[in-house]
Structure 1
Amino acid sequence: MNSTQELSAHPETPSSSKQAKNDFPKSNRLLSPKSYSHVFAQAERFGNRNWTMIVRPNNEDYPRLGLAIAKKQLQRAVWRNRVKRIAREAFRSHKKELSGYDIVVLGRKGMQDLDNETLHSSFLHLVRKIKKSKLKNSPSK
């Protein structure tokens, strides 16, 4: 059997059904410089040893993520790409808790030395802090 026959023989694999629920569409991304500026203008900062998150309520029922991993913090592209991949995966798996926020994720020096599990749990620590903050309920300036 060739590859097209194999694909048609098994139209829905477990990974494809999981991917549909944990996707990362364009509506969940900050794409333009204007949207990044909007978040940075009046935002709350959350941080720990590994990550910094700039957070602002977005008056939508879905979250949006922007990544600003600086070359100054992580010099090698391999390191930056790995950190971005971990941030996107953690965001995807916790979209429900972050609904209603625009978030810009910043990296910190030394992240390349940490393992994926540590970075992921550190990201989730900030997700919990954001959820507890009740930032959405505070009046906008």
Structure 2
Amino acid sequence: MIELQGFIYRIMSKYPEIQALEKITQDFDINIKVLGEEFLFKALGHVWVEFTINKNSFVLLIDDEVNDFKINNPLLHLCLILRELETYSEEEDILEWTKHKYLDAGDSKVLNYYRSLSGIYKQIERALGTINSHISYYDFEFNAGAAKELRKSN
């Protein structure tokens, strides 16, 4: 089960990708709280969230250029968080990461946040065993398959 601001959510889906996300919510105590667009710093097309897993909380900057956090679907929100962590791990360094996110690598707030991501990533990975958003880049970018299903679920 997953809780988002007091709302317990469970979805049954024919998509194995969505079933995998649902399994994460069954196996772990997860809470996702949207903090807003400007928490530590403002980033266009991003939202700050507090992600709690098994009583450990992390503040994360999540790419939300299509306003997926306005859709009341915690599985979608979990997927966005995991995708963000995957993006962090795939980028070579802060220059590539900030370029990808349209952030200023010279901004001390951005630099401090980036530095904190290494520890955050490791703690979340340790809790989950692996970080996997389960939904392909293609499906997410083109709103197809499991991504489309998540976006229409309320």
Normalising by structure 2, report the TM-score: 0.27
Q: Which has the higher contact order (CA 8 A, sep 6+)?
A: 1
Q: Which has the larger radius of gyration?
A: 1
